[in-house]
């Protein structure tokens, strides 16, 4: 029980804080304005005020109310974390499948979420920008997805919970021939199966 | 479709109308094969002569002459002269050497002349066509063909093949087709058309992403990569029956290329963890592994004799083209210029490899000697140009280009001249793949 509270706290406060850190880290690295995927604001539900007076009426006990509030907060935090899991992409340099420090930070959060939620499995999609040629990009996209998978497995995620798929340059996130569009397209996306 | 074509073509009887004296063909030296497109040979194809007086003939004399002219002009060897300048009335003028005034043709600049006679009677199409050397006032080819109306294009192809064979000593490409990917219905589907962009046919209906098609040597099977079942998988499609199989390997399955003359293909698979090129049967059974190098190995392209492959590897840090001898196992790096060289395509003569190279984010097509010398850039400053594929005689290269906005298919000579759009279709077209000459 105590562990769950701690976990909820972690997810509600630390996760957004880490996301913020990641964004900052990225800003320092990129010369041009980085494409930041906005994580949804976690919906934080304050526990309802505890009723001091003892009551003889039949109804939820203090303990039960507290428990419900905790569960609600926990679920909200979980949903926020899952949302961030699928909306935070990791980005790559051109023609590279090497994980940048920023990508590694994001992957650590994803690893923690997966280890805290053992019921979920994930698919890692590897994508490329529009500039290369198609077959090579399917191979490159696979290497990106596999690099992300290996990193998560090294952090303790069961490899059986992770599937990789490469789309090469077939599913561009940003159209257009700008450096920003290319950067946003060179990514791994994460789906919860 | 294929079956129908076979039946039809067997009904075409073609008769050697006038036997050529052997010395004539030996003397013909019109096309300088070291650079055949440097000087186009001026050619005249006047309206053919109606041998009877039916309305069909009146139509066909123009239509068939236009067809012959367009087909020969497509090769890039000839400059077709404007009929308006001709000193010739097809209704009165003759079509044989005895009746032609060659001085009238040399006067308008024609060095080659094609005349034709059309007879359309009782559902039978009788065509006679002749090729003349106007300077020497001599007949080079004379043929008469009897067929049905449906055979018209087949007959024109046969005559044009005779012309090209006489002038270049090879069989041209008039019996070839081009496969390509088009997004006409909103998805990347496989299509095929004739060598000149006519007769477009949609092959797949996967409503998915289909890409990198390749023809088997006999033209019966098409291999391609499709995402129809989720991940990229290789499919083998029987064009006559439409029967299709897909390969079953974990990981990606990319860039299948048929081995010359065999029901086998080379393709990249990653089931073993690393992306390597394997030799597989057309049914997808493993024969053997062809590359042994960590990192990306993709896009095999067979040498015409099937003994070597060119392929793309990232083993030196950037994608470059390598050549591997499959018997000795020896591999050498072909490209050193630039940091992104992919999509090798081995020429039918075996002496060159065309490929796509990226410079400053833009793709252009190059041709390089098989020894790795003299890379020559064939496209310049006109959007992205990629996916080169050779015509079966090696004279032309088809490719995709974004020079007009969306990706379209273009054709140029192997020397980069005469770049033109192949066909007009809705959506975007990419990944052209030229077939061998097919028996119609």
- At residue A60, does pLDDT exceed 80? no
What is the rounded radius of gyration, in angstroms, for the C-alpha atoms of chain B? 23
Cα angle B382, B383, B388 (rounded to 5 degrees) comes to 90
Chain A residues within an 8 Å CB radius of B268: 135, 139
pLDDT at A6 (0 to 100): 57
pLDDT at A3 (0 to 100): 54
Task: State whether residue A142 sits within 8 Å of chain B by CB.
Answer: yes
Task: State whether residue B357 sits within 8 Å of chain A by CB.
Answer: no
In a mutational test of the B interface, the residue from A134, A141, A144, A164 whose CB has the highest number of chain B CBs within 10 Å is: A134
Count of all residues that appear for chain A in the document: 193
Question: Can you give the CATH number for the domain in which A77 is found?
Answer: 3.30.1330.60
pLDDT digits (tens, 9 = 90+) for B142-160: 999 999 999 999 999 999 9
pLDDT band for position A47 (cuts 50, 70, 90): low
Partner-chain residue, chosen from B275, B343, B386, that has the shortest CB–CB distance to A142: B275
Chain A residues within an 8 Å CB radius of B356: 133
Structural domain contains residue A82? yes
CA-nearest of A148, A136, A150 to A187 is A148
CA-nearest of B46, B177, B173 to B113 is B46
Task: State whether residue A165 sits within 8 Å of chain B by CB.
Answer: yes
Task: State whether residue B269 sits within 8 Å of chain A by CB.
Answer: no
Return d(Cα B302, Cα B334) in angstroms, integer: 14
State the DSSP code for A33. P
Partner-chain residue, chosen from B296, B358, B431, that has the shortest CB–CB distance to A143: B296
The neighbour count for residue B379, using CB atoms within 10 Å, is: 25
Nearest CA in chain B to A177: B361
pLDDT band for position A12 (cuts 50, 70, 90): low
Helix A101-116 to helix A62-87 angle, to the nearest 10 degrees?
Answer: 140
Return d(Cα B134, Cα B281) in angstroms, integer: 53
pLDDT band for position A50 (cuts 50, 70, 90): low
Q: Record the tokens describing residue B370, joined without a space.
A: 């098989």
Return d(Cα B39, Cα A39) in angstroms, integer: 64
How many angstroms separate the CA of residue A131 from the nearest CA in chain B?
A: 6
Nearest CA in chain A to B312: A136
**Phi, psi of B191, deg, nearest 5:** -130, 160
Q: Record the tokens describing residue B6, joined without a space.
A: 């076979």
pLDDT at B12 (0 to 100): 46
Return d(Cα B64, Cα B69) in angstroms, integer: 8
Structural domain contains residue A53? no
The neighbour count for residue B185, using CB atoms within 10 Å, is: 12
pLDDT at B43 (0 to 100): 97
Give the list of residues 6+ apart from residue B389 with CB closer than 8 angstroms, or none. B178, B345, B354, B397, B398, B399, B432, B433, B434
Structural domain contains residue A134? yes
Q: Hey, which residues 385-404 in chain B have their CB within 8 Å of chain A?
A: 386-387
Average pLDDT, chain A: 81
Domain limits, chain B: 2-168, 177-434
What is the rounded radius of gyration, in angstroms, for the C-alpha atoms of chain A? 20
Q: Record the tokens describing residue B132, joined without a space.
A: 């003349």
Partner-chain residue, chosen from A136, A170, A177, that has the shortest CB–CB distance to B298: A136
Count of all residues that appear for chain B in the document: 440
pLDDT digits (tens, 9 = 90+) for A68-101: 999 999 889 888 888 889 999 999 999 999 999 9
**Total domain count, chain A:** 1
Chain A residues within an 8 Å CB radius of B210: none
Q: In this complex, do A168 and B299 lie within 8 Å of one another by their Cβ atoms?
A: no
Return d(Cα A26, Cα A91) in angstroms, integer: 10
DSSP readout, B350-407? SSEEEEEEEETTEEEEEEEETTS---EE---SSS-EEEEEE-TTSSEEEEEE-TTSS-
Buried b / exposed e over B192-202, threshold 16 CB at 10 Å, is bbbbbbeebee
Cα angle B209, B214, B218 (rounded to 5 degrees) comes to 140
Q: Residue A83: give the domain boundaries.
A: 2-38+61-192
Q: In this complex, do A136 and B342 lie within 8 Å of one another by their Cβ atoms?
A: yes
Return d(Cα B199, Cα B196) in angstroms, integer: 9
Task: State whether residue B212 sits within 8 Å of chain A by CB.
Answer: yes
Q: Record the tokens describing residue B226, joined without a space.
A: 């499709």
Asked if residue B398 lies in contact with residue B179, where contact means CB atoms within 8 angstroms, the answer is no
How many angstroms separate the CA of residue A91 from the nearest CA in chain B?
A: 18
pLDDT at A30 (0 to 100): 37
pLDDT at B148 (0 to 100): 95
CATH code of the domain occupying B177-434 = 2.120.10.30
Q: Is A16 helix (H, G, I), strand (E, B) or coil?
A: helix
| Ranges of chain B with pLDDT below 50 | 1-26
Quick one: which H or E segment has residue B309?
Answer: strand B308-313
pLDDT band for position A53 (cuts 50, 70, 90): low
Task: State whether residue B340 sits within 8 Å of chain A by CB.
Answer: yes
Among 3.40.605.10, 3.40.50.970, 3.30.110.40, 3.40.50.10070, name the CATH number for the domain at B2-168: 3.40.50.10070
Return d(Cα B393, Cα B273) in angstroms, integer: 39
Q: Strand (E) positions, A63-182?
A: 90-91, 122-127, 162-168
Structural domain contains residue A107? yes
State the DSSP code for B84. G
DSSP readout, B30-66? ---TTSTTSSPEEEE-PPPEESS--HHHHHHHHHHHH
Size of interface A-B (CB pairs under 8 A): 70
Task: State whether residue B414 sits within 8 Å of chain A by CB.
Answer: no
Chain B residues within an 8 Å CB radius of A134: 211-212, 430-431
Nearest CA in chain A to B234: A135
How many angstroms separate the CA of residue B255 from the nearest CA in chain A?
A: 6
Asked if residue B201 lies in contact with residue B191, where contact means CB atoms within 8 angstroms, the answer is yes
Structural domain contains residue A12? yes
How many angstroms separate the CA of residue B173 from the nearest CA in chain A?
A: 27
Task: State whether residue B234 sits within 8 Å of chain A by CB.
Answer: no
Partner-chain residue, chosen from A95, A132, A135, that has the shortest CB–CB distance to B212: A135
Asked if residue B274 lies in contact with residue B281, where contact means CB atoms within 8 angstroms, the answer is no
Chain B residues within an 8 Å CB radius of A138: 225, 232, 252, 254, 298
Q: Euclidean distance between the first and final Cα of chain B, in Å?
A: 11
Quick one: which H or E segment has residue B430?
Answer: strand B429-434
Task: State whether residue A173 sits within 8 Å of chain B by CB.
Answer: no
Chain A residues within an 8 Å CB radius of B340: 95, 132
Chain B residues within an 8 Å CB radius of A175: none
pLDDT digits (tens, 9 = 90+) for A129-170: 999 999 999 999 999 999 999 999 999 999 999 999 999 999
């Amino acid at each position: 029980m105590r562990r769950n509270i701690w976990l909820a706290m972690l997810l509600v406060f630390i996760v957004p804080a880490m996301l913020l850190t990641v964004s900052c880290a990225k800003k320092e690295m990129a010369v041009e304005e980085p494409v930041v995927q906005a994580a949804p604001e976690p919906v934080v539900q304050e526990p309802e005020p505890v009723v001091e007076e003892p009551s003889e009426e039949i109804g939820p006990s203090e303990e039960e109310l507290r428990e419900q509030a905790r569960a609600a907060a926990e679920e909200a935090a979980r949903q926020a974390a899952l949302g961030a899991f699928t909306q935070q992409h990791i980005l790559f340099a051109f023609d590279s499948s090497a994980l940048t420090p920023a990508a590694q930070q994001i992957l650590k959060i994803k690893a923690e979420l997966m280890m805290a939620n053992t019921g979920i499995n994930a698919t890692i999609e590897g994508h490329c920008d529009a500039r290369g040629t198609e077959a090579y990009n399917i191979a490159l996209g696979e290497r990106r997805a596999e690099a992300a998978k290996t990193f998560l497995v090294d952090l303790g995620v069961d490899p059986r919970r992770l599937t990789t798929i490469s789309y090469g340059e077939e599913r561009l996130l940003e159209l257009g021939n700008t450096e920003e569009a290319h950067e946003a397209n060179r990514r791994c996306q994460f789906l919860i199966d | 479709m294929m079956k129908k074509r076979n039946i039809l073509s067997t009904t075409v009887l073609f008769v050697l109308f006038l036997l050529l004296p052997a010395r004539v063909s030996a003397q013909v030296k019109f096309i300088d094969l070291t650079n055949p497109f440097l000087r186009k040979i001026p050619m005249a194809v006047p309206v053919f002569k109606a041998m009877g007086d039916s309305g069909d003939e009146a139509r066909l004399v123009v239509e068939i002459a236009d067809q012959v002219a367009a087909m020969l002009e497509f090769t890039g060897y000839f400059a077709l002269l404007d009929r308006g300048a001709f000193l010739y009335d097809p209704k009165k003028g003759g079509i044989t050497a005895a009746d032609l005034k060659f001085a009238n043709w040399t006067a308008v600049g024609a060095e080659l002349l094609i005349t034709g006679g059309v007879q359309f009677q009782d559902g039978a199409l009788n065509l006679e066509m002749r090729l003349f050397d106007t300077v020497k006032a001599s007949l080079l080819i004379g043929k008469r063909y009897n067929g049905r109306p449906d055979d018209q294009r087949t007959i024109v192809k046969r005559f044009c093949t005779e012309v090209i064979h006489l002038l270049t000593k090879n069989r041209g490409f008039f019996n070839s087709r081009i496969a390509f990917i088009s997004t006409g219905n909103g998805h990347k589907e496989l299509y095929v058309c004739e060598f000149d962009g006519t007769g477009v046919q949609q092959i797949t209906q996967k409503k998915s992403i289909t890409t990198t098609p390749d023809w088997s040597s006999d033209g019966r099977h098409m291999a391609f990569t499709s995402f129809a079942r989720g991940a990229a998988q290789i499919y083998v499609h029987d064009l006559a029956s439409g029967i299709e199989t897909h390969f079953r390997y974990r990981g990606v399955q990319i860039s299948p290329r048929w081995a010359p003359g065999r029901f086998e293909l080379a393709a990249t698979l990653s089931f073993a963890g690393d992306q390597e090129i394997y030799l597989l049967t057309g049914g997808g059974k493993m024969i053997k592994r062809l590359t042994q190098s960590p990192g990306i190995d993709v896009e095999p392209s067979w040498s015409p004799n099937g003994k070597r492959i060119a392929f793309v590897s990232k083993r030196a840090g950037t994608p470059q083209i390598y050549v591997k001898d499959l018997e000795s196992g020896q591999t050498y790096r072909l490209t050193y210029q630039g940091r992104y060289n992919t999509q090798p395509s081995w020429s039918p003569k075996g002496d060159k490899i065309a490929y796509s190279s990226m410079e400053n984010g833009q793709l252009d097509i190059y041709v390089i000697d098989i020894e790795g010398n003299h890379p020559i850039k064939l496209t310049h400053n006109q959007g992205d140009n990629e996916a080169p594929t050779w015509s079966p005689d090696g004279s032309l290269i088809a490719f995709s280009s974004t020079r007009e906005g969306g990706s379209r298919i273009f054709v140029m000579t192997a020397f980069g001249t005469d770049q033109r759009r192949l066909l007009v279709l809705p959506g975007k077209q990419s990944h052209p793949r030229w077939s061998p000459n097919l028996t119609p």
